[in-house]
Amino acid sequence: MRSAEARAKTVEAAKADLVGILGVPEAQIRFEVLEEPKPGLMGLGGHQALVRGTAIQSRADWVKAYLKGLFQVSGDDAVVVVRSEEDRIQASVSGDFEWFTGITGESLDALQRVVNSTAQQAESRGEVEGGALITVDIGRWRERRYEQLEKQALELAVQAKASGQEIAMKPMSAADRRAVHIALRDYPGISTASDGEEPMRRVVIRPLSAVEAEEGPDHSGEEGGQDIEA
């Protein structure tokens, strides 16, 4: 987080100076007026405006710096790649790190919740841009998991369509259910929906009737927004 202070005859002039000092657009700076300008009497006793400006990090830059710092504290060297995708920011971590061995979906989800919670706190302080949820992957664990889920979902879609019967998958996390909904989003003649209560909530794959197929699939589990993992 970069901050600076500037004095000028007016608050607006001080803000303009801070834009140049911090080197970012005005919209990405949080301003705090420390002293309003005060005119002096016959040129004496007055003072200029004093404004502090803090550069607001983009969410992507914040995530990258936060995760790199987290792994550096443990003495491990990590490479963090961040990209924006649809309604979220994807952060992938790779490298040699010993303290995060035995990666599971539960441990990744716990880390992901910490990252999102910390980002929200930084956002509330005006230090980070608001916006998309953040997903975290380490050592391609989620990527491989989603590849497996996609393969399984496509196989079950074939079975459901051939048998004309709906198929309920095993209970899974919100992030995994979202991956299944996305995998079958454009699959012809098939709809998906989430059913049940946590922690037994699951995806149901259902073949569409001829009339329903013409109207288009309804992926209510995904579009309803209930399977978005924070």
Boundary of a domain, candidates 139, 154, 188: 139
Residues 149 and 121 in one domain: no
SS3 per residue for 68-94: HHHHHHCCCEEEEEEEEECCEEEEEEE
- Can you tell me whether residue 51 is helix, strand or coil? strand
| 7, pLDDT greater than 90 | yes
CATH of the domain at 203: 3.30.1370.50
> Is this prediction's pTM over 0.85?
no
Residues 148 and 219 in one domain: yes
Boundary of a domain, candidates 97, 113, 139: 139
The number of distinct structural domains making up the chain is 3
Question: Which of the residue ranges 20-24, 155-159, 167-171 would you say has the lowest mean pLDDT?
Answer: 20-24
Task: Count the neighbouring beta carbons within 10 Å of the beta carbon of residue 71.
Answer: 20
Mean pLDDT of 211-219: 63
Boundary of a domain, candidates 123, 139, 155: 139
The domain in which residue 89 lies consists of: 59-139
pLDDT at 150: 96
The set of residues, in sequence order, having a beta carbon less than 8 Å from that of 47 and lying 6+ positions away, is 35, 37, 38, 40
* DSSP 8-state code for residue 54: E
Residue labelled with tokens 């989620």: 142
**CA quadruple 215, 162, 221, 111: dihedral sign:** negative
Nearest to 9 by CA among 65, 38, 49, 58: 49
- CA gap 224, 230 in Å, rounded: 15
Residue labelled with tokens 């992901």: 112
Local confidence band at 73 (pLDDT 50, 70, 90 cut-offs): confident
Mean pLDDT of 70-81: 81
Residues 16 and 39 in one domain: yes
pLDDT at 188: 94
Residues of the chain with pLDDT > 90: what percent? 54
Specify whether the CB–CB gap between 33 and 18 falls below 8 A: no
